């Protein structure tokens, strides 16, 4: 009997709905951002992740269409296992991650001394790294 290949992406995700942040009346998330990491930008509000920011989760879907600024809601995977694109400094198995560049995550930085007020910004546990392309993360 051979060992069966595991598909960790099928672990039940935990999903939550958030408002979409705006800049000058235009939604910061568009359909092109689906599948990318996002961050918490305000009270129950999400937007694209910025470099060094804490990962909220993965953008799964948006309601309505790109032209419906101010009315869209974002469904975010906030728990479970997901695959996200990576950028330098690439994470390794067991690392936590933070926001990278252009819709990616990267290895969380080492902290000098104690964690900052409010806790460490690192999120998740990297389960697998696919070269310099993407990684599988347990959102915990």
Chain-centroid distance, C-alpha 27: 18
Write down the pLDDT at residue 60: 97
- Answer yes or no: is 3 within a domain: no
In the predicted structure, residue 4 carries a pLDDT above the cut 70? no
- 113: left (phi > 0), else alpha (psi -120 to 50), else beta? left
Distance in angstroms (rounded) separating the CA atoms of residues 36 and 79:
15
pLDDT digits (tens, 9 = 90+) for 33-52: 999 999 999 999 999 999 99
- Answer yes or no: is 2 within a domain: no
The pLDDT of 128-137, averaged and rounded, is 96
**E-strand stretches of 31-72:** 37-42, 45-48, 57-62
Parallel, antiparallel, or unpaired for β 45-48 and 14-20? parallel
Distance in angstroms (rounded) separating the CA atoms of residues 53 and 7:
28
Per DSSP, helices labelled H in 1-140 are none
CATH code of 102's domain:
2.40.300
Write down the pLDDT at residue 79: 96
Distance in angstroms (rounded) separating the CA atoms of residues 108 and 100:
9
pLDDT digits (tens, 9 = 90+) for 59-106: 999 999 988 998 999 999 999 999 999 999 999 999 999 999 999 999
Report the number of distinct structural domains present in the chain: 1
Asked if 139 and 79 count as a contact pair (C-beta separation under 8 A), the reply is yes
Asked if 27 and 72 count as a contact pair (C-beta separation under 8 A), the reply is yes
Task: Tally Cβ neighbours within 10 Å of residue 84.
Answer: 25
Write down the pLDDT at residue 10: 66
* Domain enclosing residue 40, as ranges: 8-139
- Answer yes or no: is 1 within a domain: no
């Amino acid at each position: 009997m051979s060992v069966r290949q595991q598909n960790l992406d099928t672990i039940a995700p935990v999903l939550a709905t958030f408002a979409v942040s705006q800049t000058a009346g235009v939604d910061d998330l568009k359909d092109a951002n689906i599948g990318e990491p996002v961050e918490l930008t305000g009270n129950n509000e999400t937007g694209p992740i910025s470099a060094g920011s804490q990962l909220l989760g993965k953008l799964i879907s948006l309601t309505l269409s790109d032209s419906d600024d101010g009315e869209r809601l974002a469904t975010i995977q906030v728990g479970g296992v997901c695959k996200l694109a990576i950028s330098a400094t690439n994470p390794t198995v067991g690392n936590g991650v933070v926001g990278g560049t252009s819709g990616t995550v990267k290895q969380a930085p080492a902290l000098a001394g104690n964690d900052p007020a409010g806790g460490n910004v690192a999120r998740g546990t990297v389960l697998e790294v696919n070269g310099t392309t993407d990684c599988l993360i347990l959102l915990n």
